[in-house]
Structure 1
């Protein structure tokens, strides 16, 4: 789709294959055992147009997973609208963002014929399984989640009474890690591509799978214990505050590069990015975060390490680094940007893709829920 493509090296741990073996004709026995593929699941919230950090992080990884998947692998990529509701949303904006995110996934290369791409909120199996899992989840595990603790800390900073502060937070913020586990377990997913900031949530999913298996499945592995798929991608930081990551929620629009930004906007944002007054260009994330962030972005576009890129800029200026980074980002985004602008206006096509994806997702997850209901006594 576009010439400047970032190649990511994924470190994956495959679940062991189970099959029968005998001492006779190992070759023939191996051929007779069908290969069991991975079930890959990941989701993204429909909150605004994705920025460069989203693209170089999760989204380009999804495309690579799809491209390198074995024929036996199943891939589920979900737009998780229910998770978006944990924070206040404008209904009209959320509705538009759902369709824009679907258009984005198609524009960057997610193929709905190869992968199941769908709106999470179109499949009620997620919420049904989340309720069942909530009935076996210890409250203590949820209180230890760093996301909840950080929200609680923010609330307490606004007042002195901790009981009142906690009561101001909605229950969805407290229980959404269970819904996240249900998202994964509804498809009995085996491999989950997420960033390091989601490791704790995935660990909860693993624990809940174990709890359910021990409680209802006679210790059989009905729910697989999902494996995290790690990527060596580096965080893309804010162009205006390189001590924090690039974010859609930042009030400074100059801090991020959006998928829809024009060539001129990309150049102006990078030219205005914060660097430092030190002469020369070196990669030093601690002492030179702004300069290092630009090197990280450029390296992501050229499939190199930031250190390799920095070696080419010895004796060069920030002006030259910014110009080259802007050109590389434009080359990376221009293809997806053009496709996005075309697809987002094809409302009928997007509606049909969403329907087909939801149908396929429900078909798979309904089979899971049918067995779950039987195991817990509801069928």
Structure 2
């Protein structure tokens, strides 16, 4: 017996400055295709429309509905005020009491020759002009090398700067992750560039990150203190962040696919807090995997699993950790962090943790 066709129960647009987000609430996951052209974007989907279409907003100046190429299909034709490129198009599974949602992000500009014009979500989804079954998209890991530009971070006695160490480590981790063929990887910076703290998790969210890893190598007054530690967002910091997000004027992107601007501040705070709690649980799970999969040669602090209110950890819907790889104030840590061999070992440890997080196949190296 064939399943009942998906139905669209709500449709909305959100203007987020650098992008326009189109969201459809669905009764179930359903195949779709994205058909960009010079006049806008067409979404072809196996679904029935039960909701009014939203008014023009952002880059979208009108939305029209037409029958699709096959029975049971419809086409939503988004006319835009300028040529656009598709940054993201996927169906988000049900979570936090919300139904499945189709989410598409549009930005001004034209995709380059040979670039992917049709990002698709996992499932039985087909890109246009192709009869082959689409492959599930690979998880996206965003790596954040701490500091950069005019902000050097900590400086060791041997002259090593934290911003250089974190960038070198990020590139090695990216190399090892990509070599597996199991992940997509992006860096918040791939050169000596200053990026404000709040912009770093925002980059991860814009790219649709599945995991965010921020890398640091601090210094401390106690010069005998050495070893790695890993931080997740603290409960108190999460509460403050949820309240701040709920009070912001534009709340429609506070949680992916959920427009909170129609909710009261109290309800918005509760919903953001619920999303953050789930994200924090996932963050702690990954942090534990990092510690269990560390190469035995890598020293750790006593009680290395910690929490704090770091700004880079405050995205409500992207699991995130901050890895303090060691202390540049300790001569041995500083020497190791400047070593290619040590970076390879540490990147290998993080790779095993990422494998464990997404597949459960990693073999822990520590009890």
Question: Larger % of strand: which?
Answer: 2
Structure with the bigger RCO (C-alpha within 8 Å, sep 6+) is 1
Instruction: Please give the TM-score of this superposition, normalised by the length of structure 2.
Output: 0.31
Instruction: Please give the TM-score of this superposition, normalised by the length of structure 1.
Output: 0.30
Question: Larger % of helix: which?
Answer: 1
